[in-house]
């Protein structure tokens, strides 16, 4: 490739105005290390091939030879596969019975690695008979593979079904030495959580046959590699992450087609408003140009693609869907006929759905140079060997930094400059990177999430495990099954307990693995039917989102219209139609707090985590052509209800007054809360590996359970999948990035790049950008203050067992302290304290009368501390728990009344204060507050 072509692109007048950042990643020389006492055959092979081992490969080799579990997280094309193949093949050459299981997330990847292993087998003279064992393996070959192969390559879906036939694999499992899990970062969310329990099922079986094995994991760069490895396998690992492979210089360009578009559109809208008021017919040129810029993002990608090909730059263009990959390839071929006809034959698309032979031909064509330009989906993101290319275009942020860097890693030859261009879409994530390039090129921020506590997943996996081998009580604990889930399985007779052995057995004759998918939580599945053809299977929640009546459904690049949904028979009927529109469903959300698990102080701001009950009412959907609404249509669907986990936090109502005074708008406070909700959800995938549709949210001026303005963010799946549990640890980073996103967005009133959401059930109303910035800044300032307490487990608070006598002494102390802080003259005390309560510091006056200056040692003192910091919800929890233990605690009744008075629930407040006075007629503060409520109600 002519390196000047890269510099020409950066300076070309057609593109340079939209380049917002260029990061030049310097070239890097290799670091090599030798391995002592390496097998002579392997040593000769490396010498013949001219291979010098990189230092990280030697480090991996040594850890494996020391019987340690290893996770390798070096870059694409850094030689991870060779790093673990060498010690495995050395062990199998010495131990003629030893076996190894390689698990890959994709069939194409296992095919590629099979070729590598067969080549090594031949070159090293080792009899290992490596073979694939998956859905494509011919039935007449399976027996031979089970009996003779010593390295078997498979995927989780196949493993899920064959574990129950383990007796046919006795030879293989009895001698199992290594379990290799490649592309481990792929295992996250529902799929990853299911696979984690699948691996535990595999471990049970391998141990049943007496094998002693090691785990070897290979992954892209993550923020939490050791945590992922541990959760995926249940074992401890050593990490190899120092990439010592060489690389050429690389220019990474952030390209923003929307850099001037938002301002132009808003200015045009302002002009239209003025023209409308003056009854002037507007000039439509600007508006049309603005819409054209918005609608032509894929054409802009194609123009860059064509430019590079004309400069003889071999380019891979990643797109967001199969359809777009085909479209850009089609446009490029057509346009190339007008520029350089012979190059049109060197352009093609690559995606899942092509026949294996077609995909292999394109892969080989990239390596040989037959193809100059290929458009593709993320199917070429994984470690399929296609060689190294000159340039990569990433059309739209692919959802995770891992995917971005894996795609970017496809460009770059060892001693040659390469190019990566990220073409931004208009959403929050893409635009955040355009405005914050330092974050993009900083250390890894993403955490891969696996949830080992989702009882729906555990229930499914337990049934499969019991079908494979009987389960002991101890093994049930290892699967972390709850008593309630176990009871449900026994009540439904899905498990039966042997009263003599106390073992649990799966009681049906079928195969539970076929009823419980690795990709789904629910067994409430719908068939998507095109006449008699089954297109796919969906969970009910996905049907509501994507396959409701009237929805445009995309399947393998083809578009279908949903004709009807049969909720009784779980069938969705669709009709094939070629349409340019898409649909977005809108919903109303209602949330109830079921169980408060913990509260965390982030600086001096409190975030809560717990179990929620969510009601989602899918009320209507919009038919869209790009960003233009073609129509809105009502839906008639029963609401979805599910229990999940989430975080929530409250905003003091004083900010409502401040914002209304500042902006003189009625919905400004709610608009700010709503903007925070959208901004946080939009940037969640920045820190936690998930899709924005994996999470939901609700913002409200007042919520019954907190009795304050509240923002909820929740996992959008039954039982939760660990996203928000991890997010609470990253809350500071999430708030800071959300603030930066909204503050730095060039729009004036909010847009899809900051606080608009494509899935908002309220059609993005109300939203107020300035109020969003104000409230985010308030949270940010609280977060940056020194923390009072780090974390409190609510269950620990509730479960504290107190000695009754000690509790009584403490309460007496507090009562005495209270009495010393008030006027002893009863005739003057009420009037004096009425003035105190009416002033702006009434909360502090109440609290100071009770608060012991030492650390909180009783439940009551803890409640006082929460009261002082305006954590009324949790203060009430503790007080109610106290009253469950002792209904004669007058101070608890009083403080409950004080909280309800502040929250303007005067009737309940009066009742609680009267109870306090019945128990203690001399409780002067209860008397003062009750008198105040009576006077104000007159």
> For position 406, which CATH number holds?
3.40.50.300
Residues 79, 59: Cα–Cα separation, whole Å: 12
765 is a domain residue: yes
Which two structure tokens, joined as six digits, stand for 604?
Answer: 């001096």
Q: Pick the last residue of a domain from 514, 536, 558.
A: 514
- What is the model's pLDDT at position 384? 67
Q: Are residues 47 and 13 in the same domain?
A: no
Q: b/e string for 840-854 if b means 16 or more Cβ within 10 A?
A: eebbeebbebbbbee
Residues ≥6 apart with Cβ < 8 Å to 489: 459, 462, 463, 495
Residues 734, 743: Cα–Cα separation, whole Å: 14
Residues ≥6 apart with Cβ < 8 Å to 840: none
What are 841-853's pLDDT values in tens digits?
444 444 443 443 3
CB 75 within 8 A of CB 405: yes
Question: What confidence category does residue 706 fall into, taking pLDDT thresholds of 50, 70 and 90?
Answer: very high
CB 191 within 8 A of CB 691: no
- What is the model's pLDDT at position 557? 67
Q: Are residues 252 and 387 in the same domain?
A: yes
- Tell me the pTM: 0.76
Q: Are residues 218 and 72 in the same domain?
A: yes
Least confidently predicted of 32-36, 229-233, 582-586, 736-740: 582-586
57 is a domain residue: yes
110 is a domain residue: yes
Q: Are residues 663 and 775 in the same domain?
A: yes
- What is the model's pLDDT at position 3? 59
Q: Are residues 702 and 760 in the same domain?
A: yes
Q: Are residues 648 and 767 in the same domain?
A: yes
101 is a domain residue: yes
Q: How far is CA 834 from the centre of its chain?
A: 52
425 is a domain residue: yes
Residues 685, 401: Cα–Cα separation, whole Å: 9
Residues ≥6 apart with Cβ < 8 Å to 680: 697, 711, 713, 734, 735, 738
What are the CA-CA distances from residue 397 to residues 429, 488, 499 (Å)?
7, 43, 56
- CA-wise closest residue to 262 among 681, 704, 754, 661: 754
Q: Are residues 393 and 472 in the same domain?
A: no
Residues 122, 125: Cα–Cα separation, whole Å: 5
Residues 223, 685: Cα–Cα separation, whole Å: 13
Least confidently predicted of 340-344, 493-497, 520-524: 520-524
Residues 735, 446: Cα–Cα separation, whole Å: 15
Q: Are residues 334 and 482 in the same domain?
A: no
Which two structure tokens, joined as six digits, stand for 475?
Answer: 């093994």
- CA-wise closest residue to 373 among 402, 340, 400: 340
CB 320 within 8 A of CB 396: yes
Task: Identify the burial level of 718 via C-beta atoms within 10 angstroms of its C-beta, where 0-12 means exposed, 13-18 middle and 19 or more buried.
Answer: buried
123 is a domain residue: yes
Residues 453, 190: Cα–Cα separation, whole Å: 12
Q: Are residues 115 and 206 in the same domain?
A: yes
Greater pLDDT, 699 or 539: 699
Q: Are residues 183 and 57 in the same domain?
A: yes
- What is the model's pLDDT at position 793? 53
- What is the model's pLDDT at position 827? 39
Q: What is the mean pLDDT of the chain?
A: 85
What are 230-263's pLDDT values in tens digits?
999 999 999 999 999 998 899 999 999 988 665 4
833 is a domain residue: no
β-strand 315-318 against 373-376: which pairing, if any? parallel
Q: Are residues 252 and 227 in the same domain?
A: no
Residues 724, 223: Cα–Cα separation, whole Å: 16
What are 115-149's pLDDT values in tens digits?
899 999 999 999 999 999 998 899 999 999 999 99
696 is a domain residue: yes
In 470-511, beta strands by DSSP E: 495-497, 504-506
In 328-471, beta strands by DSSP E: 347-350, 373-376, 391-395, 418-423
What average pLDDT does range 613-626 have in this prediction? Answer: 90
Number of domains in the chain: 5
Q: Pick the last residue of a domain from 386, 407, 441.
A: 441
- CA-wise closest residue to 662 among 651, 674, 671: 671
Which two structure tokens, joined as six digits, stand for 367?
Answer: 């390596």
What are the CA-CA distances from residue 808 to residues 83, 802, 811, 822, 882 (Å)?
66, 10, 5, 22, 12
Q: Pick the last residue of a domain from 514, 531, 557.
A: 514
Q: Are residues 426 and 468 in the same domain?
A: no
Q: Which residue range is the domain that position 10 belongs to?
A: 5-18+248-259+296-441
- CA-wise closest residue to 98 among 129, 62, 66: 129
Least confidently predicted of 63-67, 556-560, 617-621: 556-560
Query: Helix 55-65 crosses helix 80-94 at what angle (to 10 degrees)?
Result: 40
- What is the model's pLDDT at position 880? 82
Residues ≥6 apart with Cβ < 8 Å to 102: 110, 113, 151, 152, 153, 154, 180, 182
């Amino acid at each position: 490739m002519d390196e000047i072509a890269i510099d020409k692109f950066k300076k070309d007048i057609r593109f340079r105005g939209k380049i917002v950042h260029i990061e030049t990643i310097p070239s890097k020389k290799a670091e090599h290390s030798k391995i002592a006492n390496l097998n002579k055959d392997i040593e000769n092979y490396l010498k013949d091939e001219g291979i010098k081992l990189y230092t990280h490969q030697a480090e991996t080799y040594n850890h494996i030879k020391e019987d340690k579990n290893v996770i390798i997280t070096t870059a694409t094309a850094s030689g991870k596969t060779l790093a673990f193949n060498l010690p495995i093949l050395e062990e199998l050459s010495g131990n003629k019975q030893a076996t190894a299981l390689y698990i890959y997330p994709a069939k194409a990847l296992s095919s590629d690695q099979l070729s590598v292993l067969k080549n090594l087998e031949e070159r090293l003279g080792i009899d290992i008979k490596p073979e694939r064992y998956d859905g494509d393996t011919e039935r007449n070959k399976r027996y031979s593979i089970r009996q003779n192969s010593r390295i078997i390559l498979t995927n989780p879906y196949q493993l899920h079904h064959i574990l129950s036939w383990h007796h046919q694999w006795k030879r293989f499992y009895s001698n199992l030495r290594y379990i290799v899990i490649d592309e481990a970062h792929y295992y996250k969310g529902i799929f990853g959580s299911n696979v984690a329990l699948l691996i535990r099922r595999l471990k049970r079986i391998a141990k049943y046959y007496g094998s002693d094995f090691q785990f070897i994991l290979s992954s892209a760069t993550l923020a939490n590699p050791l945590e992922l490895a541990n959760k995926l396998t249940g074992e401890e690992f050593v990490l190899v992450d120092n990439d010592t492979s060489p690389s050429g210089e690389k220019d990474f360009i952030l390209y923003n087609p929307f850099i001037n578009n938002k301002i132009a559109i808003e200015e045009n809208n302002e002009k239209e408003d003025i023209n409308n008021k003056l009854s002037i017919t507007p000039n439509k040129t600007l508006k049309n140009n603005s819409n054209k810029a918005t609608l032509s993002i894929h054409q802009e990608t194609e123009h860059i693609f064509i430019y590079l090909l004309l400069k003889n730059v071999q380019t891979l263009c990643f797109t967001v869907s199969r359809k777009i990959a085909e479209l850009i390839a089609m446009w490029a071929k057509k346009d190339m006929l007008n520029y350089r006809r012979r190059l049109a034959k060197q352009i093609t698309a690559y995606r899942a759905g092509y026949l294996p032979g077609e995909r292999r031909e394109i892969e080989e064509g990239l390596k040989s140079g037959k193809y100059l330009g290929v458009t593709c989906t993320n199917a070429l993101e994984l470690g399929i060997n296609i060689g190294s290319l000159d340039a990569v275009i990433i059309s739209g942020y692919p959802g995770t930094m891992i995917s971005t860097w894996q795609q970017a890693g496809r460009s770059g030859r060892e001693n040659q400059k390469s190019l990566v261009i990220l073409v931004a879409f208009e959403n929050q994530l893409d635009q955040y990177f355009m405005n914050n390039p330092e974050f993009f090129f900083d250390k890894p921020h993403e955490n891969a999430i696996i949830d080992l506590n989702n009882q729906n997943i555990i229930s499914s996996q337990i049934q499969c495990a019991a079908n494979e081998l009987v389960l002991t009580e101890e093994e049930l604990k290892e699967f972390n099954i709850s008593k309630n889930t176990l009871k449900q399985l026994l009540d439904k007779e899905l498990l039966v307990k042997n009263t003599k052995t106390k073992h649990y057995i799966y009681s049906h004759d079928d195969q539970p693995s076929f009823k419980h998918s690795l990709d789904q939580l629910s067994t409430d599945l719908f068939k998507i039917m095109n006449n008699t053809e089954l297109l796919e299977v969906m969970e009910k929640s996905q049907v509501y989102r994507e396959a409701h009546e009237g929805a445009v459904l995309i399947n393998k690049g083809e578009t279908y219209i949903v004709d009807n949904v049969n909720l009784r028979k779980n069938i969705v009927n669709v009709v094939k139609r070629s349409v340019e529109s898409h649909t977005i469903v809108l919903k109303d959300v209602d949330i109830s707090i079921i169980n408060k698990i913990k509260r965390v102080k982030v600086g001096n701001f409190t975030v809560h985590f717990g179990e929620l009950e969510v009601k989602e009412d899918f009320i209507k959907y919009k038919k869209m052509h790009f960003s233009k609404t073609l129509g809105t249509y009502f839906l008639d669907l029963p609401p979805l209800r599910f229990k999940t986990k989430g975080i929530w936090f409250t905003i003091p109502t004083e900010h409502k007054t401040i914002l209304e005074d500042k902006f003189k708008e009625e919905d400004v406070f709610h608009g700010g809360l709503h903007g925070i909700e959208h901004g946080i959800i939009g940037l969640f995938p920045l820190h936690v590996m998930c899709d924005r549709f994996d999470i939901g949210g609700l913002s409200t001026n007042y919520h019954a359970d907190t009795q304050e303005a509240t923002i909820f963010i929740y996992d959008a799946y039954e039982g939760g999948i660990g996203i928000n549990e991890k997010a609470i640890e990253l809350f500071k980073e999430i708030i800071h990035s959300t603030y930066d996103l909204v503050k730095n967005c060039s729009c004036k009133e909010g847009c899809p790049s900051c606080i608009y959401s494509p899935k908002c059930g309220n059609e993005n109303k109300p939203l107020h950008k300035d109020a969003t910035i104000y409230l985010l800044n308030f949270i940010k300032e609280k977060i940056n203050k020194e923390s009072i307490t780090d974390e409190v487990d609510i269950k620990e608070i509730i479960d504290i067992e107190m000695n009754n006598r000690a509790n009584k002494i403490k309460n007496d102390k507090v009562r005495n302290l209270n009495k010393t802080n008030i006027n002893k003259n009863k005739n003057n005390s009420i009037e004096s304290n009425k003035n105190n309560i009416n002033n702006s510091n009434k909360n502090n006056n109440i609290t100071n009368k009770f608060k012991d200056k030492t650390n909180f040692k009783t439940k009551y003192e803890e409640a006082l501390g929460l009261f002082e910091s305006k954590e009324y919800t949790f203060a009430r929890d503790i007080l109610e728990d106290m009253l469950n233990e002792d209904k004669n605690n007058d101070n608890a009744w009083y403080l409950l009344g004080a909280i309800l008075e502040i929250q303007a629930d005067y009737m309940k407040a009066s009742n609680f204060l009267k109870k306090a006075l019945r128990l203690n007629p001399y409780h002067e503060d209860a008397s003062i507050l009750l008198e105040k409520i009576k006077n104000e109600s007159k």
